[in-house]
Structure formats: structure tokens, C-alpha cells
């Protein structure tokens, strides 16, 4: 296949040696999106090859390391676990220009992996950006998906109907104005202006308890220098803040598809994540498959609930896989 060739970096494998709690074998697949030349995506593939599939989707600024305590619980339950590193993260290829990354390309790259592995009977687990990316993949090919676990995630559409529903406001007002949470704007501007970024700073700052230094260092492992961080920095800039944003248009299209999704859809949000609070109720109201389900509030965890409550999230996933 031919296509536009991007300048791409790969993090040296030595950076991933002896990471605590992460003894999983790496797997790689070539993925394509938007007419670009193939890129190499890393993913974990654990558990029985013929088992129901849990597709574990991370967001910014993490990678599949985030799910290290979730994976063994799912495997013990007979579930095949696929946990990719988004392009620009983890062991996956890292284009060097921020403008190489778009919301649509992230969706395309993950869809390419799902199709290339011919995954079916999928339970999607989406946290942070893993939600809108994974849900948009589902919207494009819903027959592959049996169920969803939405965990501390969003689907920004800037819809005026979101007014008063979200802890961090992002919604239109009348015909030409928008209401934005100040903390969200501060976060976005920091990621674009700071001369250096460290993934561990974001993971550590949102944790409800201090994380071990070696764990924080594992989140920094994929990013030896700033040239490897273009995807991490750009992902925040892709946040849809207005109704006219291309990401908001994608989000509205995805929400329309979710409004037809009647298979099990369960929310598992922590009680310590103000950034996503309110979205669980939006999904419960808008998605037919969420109605009448048992939804979960996971106590004592921050935004990256996999870090502090991975076992509890895993049990929710096992239950939902059993519903599919």
C-alpha cells in the first residue's frame, strides 16, 4: 500500500525493560488511516485466542501499561485481552509533527487494528480519550461489538443540551457562544505552552494516593525526549471545544450511532474525577443499552482509575462480558 510518508520515531526497546508489573509480550501490527503509509501499532494480546474479546483503550498521556492490573483478572476469566498503544504512545510508532495527529486518524488507526485482527464479540473498555476513539470505531462497525464499559470518559459534542449536566462545562450557548470550564482551558493551554511535558506529572497529579516512583517512571518510558511527545502534546489540542470543531462533528455522529446501540452499555466512573463527572449520566440517558443496567461508582480513585482500582474495574468488565 502506498501513501503519504510521515517522519516517524520508535522508542528504543530498552526503555521498556523491567517495568514493574508489566511482563506481557509485545505484539505489533501495521495500521493505516487517511491515505497514509502504514504505521506500526503495538498491542497486548493475552488470554485464549477463541475467547470473548475485551478491547482496552487508553487515553492521554498513558499507554497499555495503565491496564497492567486489569489484564490478569480478565485472562483468568477466559477473556482475550487486546490492549493497543495509540499511535504516538507506548511502543507504537510516533510521527514527529503534531499536525500528523487528528481525531479521525486515531479512529482510523484503531479501526485498522480491529479489522486486521478480525476482532469480534468485542467488549470495548474506554477511558479518557480511549472512550471517544473507541466509541467512534464502534459507530463505524457496530456489529463487531457486543458491549461497552465506559470508564471516566467523554464524548464532547459541545451540544447546548449539555448545559448544567457536566462538572467541567463544554457546551454551546445561544447560536454563537460557548461555555468552557476554566480548568479545562488552563489544562489545554499548559500542554501547548509548556516547554517540556512529562506523562507522569499528569498521572501522578490526578491520583488519590501517591504512586511509586518506579510506576511514574514507567509512564515516562515511551517518551525519551520532546520529539517523541508530539502525539501526547497534540492530543489535548484535539479536544473539541466548539460546535464547529471537527471533533465535535465526529462526536455528534458517534452519539447518533450510540443512540441506536441496544447491547449492554455500562458506566464505571470513579468518585474522584471532576473532569468527567456528569458524562456517566449522559450516556445512561442517551444509550438504549445503558437503560436498566447496573452502573458503578468506584470509590477512592482518581481519573486514571485503572491505577488505583484496577481490580474493581476488571470485575465490572468480567460482568459485562458475561452479559454480551
Report the C-alpha gap between 31 and 69 in whole angstroms: 27
Output the CA–CA distances (angstroms, integers) from residue 57 to 28, 61, 199, 266, 320, in the order listed. Answer: 16, 12, 17, 15, 16
- Residue 301 confidence (pLDDT): 96
User: What cell numbers appear for 20 in the block?
Assistant: 514493574
Output the CA–CA distances (angstroms, integers) from residue 148 to 121, 297, 306, in the order listed. Answer: 11, 16, 16
Residue 310 contacts residue 298 (beta carbons within 8 Å): no
Q: Which residues are catalytic?
A: 128, 273, 303
- Helices (H), ranges, the chain: 71-76, 103-116, 130-140, 182-193, 199-205, 213-220, 230-237, 246-258, 279-286, 305-323
Helices 230-237, 182-193: crossing angle, 10 deg rounding? 150
- Pick out the chain residues at pLDDT < 50: 1
Length of the chain: 324
Residue appearing with cell numbers 450510540? 258
Cβ neighbors of 194 (< 8 A, separation 6 or more) are none
23 burial (CB, 10 Å; 0-12 / 13-18 / 19+) is exposed
Q: Which residue ranges make up each domain of the chain?
A: 15-323
Output the CA–CA distances (angstroms, integers) from residue 67 to 43, 63, 195, in the order listed. Answer: 12, 8, 29
Output the CA–CA distances (angstroms, integers) from residue 264 to 12, 124, 307, in the order listed. Answer: 40, 11, 25
Cβ neighbors of 22 (< 8 A, separation 6 or more) are 16, 65, 68, 218
Fold adopted by 15-323: Rossmann fold (3.40.50)
- Residue 2 confidence (pLDDT): 56
- Residue 1 confidence (pLDDT): 44
Amino acid at each position: 500500500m502506498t501513501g503519504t510518508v510521515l517522519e516517524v520515531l520508535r522508542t528504543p526497546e530498552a526503555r521498556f525493560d523491567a517495568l514493574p508489573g508489566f511482563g506481557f509480550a509485545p505484539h505489533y501490527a501495521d495500521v493505516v488511516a487517511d491515505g497514509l503509509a502504514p504505521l506500526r501499532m503495538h498491542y497486548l494480546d493475552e488470554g485464549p485466542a477463541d475467547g470473548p474479546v475485551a478491547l482496552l483503550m487508553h487515553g492521554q498521556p498513558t499507554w497499555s501499561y495503565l491496564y497492567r492490573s486489569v489484564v490478569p483478572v480478565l485472562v483468568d476469566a477466559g477473556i482475550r485481552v487486546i490492549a493497543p498503544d495509540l499511535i504516538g504512545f507506548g511502543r507504537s510508532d510516533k510521527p514527529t509533527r503534531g499536525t500528523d495527529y487528528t481525531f479521525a486518524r486515531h479512529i482510523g488507526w484503531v479501526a485498522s487494528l480491529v479489522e486486521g485482527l478480525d476482532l469480534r464479540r468485542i467488549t470495548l473498555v474506554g477511558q479518557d480519550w480511549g472512550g471517544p476513539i473507541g466509541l467512534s470505531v464502534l459507530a463505524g462497525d457496530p456489529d463487531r461489538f457486543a458491549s461497552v464499559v465506559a470508564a471516566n470518559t467523554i464524548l464532547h459534542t459541545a451540544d447546548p443540551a449539555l448545559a448544567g449536566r457536566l462538572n467541567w462545562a463544554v457546551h454551546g450557548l445561544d447560536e454563537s457562544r460557548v461555555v468552557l470550564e476554566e480548568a479545562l482551558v488552563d489544562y489545554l493551554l499548559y500542554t501547548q505552552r509548556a516547554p517540556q511535558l512529562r506523562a507522569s506529572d499528569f498521572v501522578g497529579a490526578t491520583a488519590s494516593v501517591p504512586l511509586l516512583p518506579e510506576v511514574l517512571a514507567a509512564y515516562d518510558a515511551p517518551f525519551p525526549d520532546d520529539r517523541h511527545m508530539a502525539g501526547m502534546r497534540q492530543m489535548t489540542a484535539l479536544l473539541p471545544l466548539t460546535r464547529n470543531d471537527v471533533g465535535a462533528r465526529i462526536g455528534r455522529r458517534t452519539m447518533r450511532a450510540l443512540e441506536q446501540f441496544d447491547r449492554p452499555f455500562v458506566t464505571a466512573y470513579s468518585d474522584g474525577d471532576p473532569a468527567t463527572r456528569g458524562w456517566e449520566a449522559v450516556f445512561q440517558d442517551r444509550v438504549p443499552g445503558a437503560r436498566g443496567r447496573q452502573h458503578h461508582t468506584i470509590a477512592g480513585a482518581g481519573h486514571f482509575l485503572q491505577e488505583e482500582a484496577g481490580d474493581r474495574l476488571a470485575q465490572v468488565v468480567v460482568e459485562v462480558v458475561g452479559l454480551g
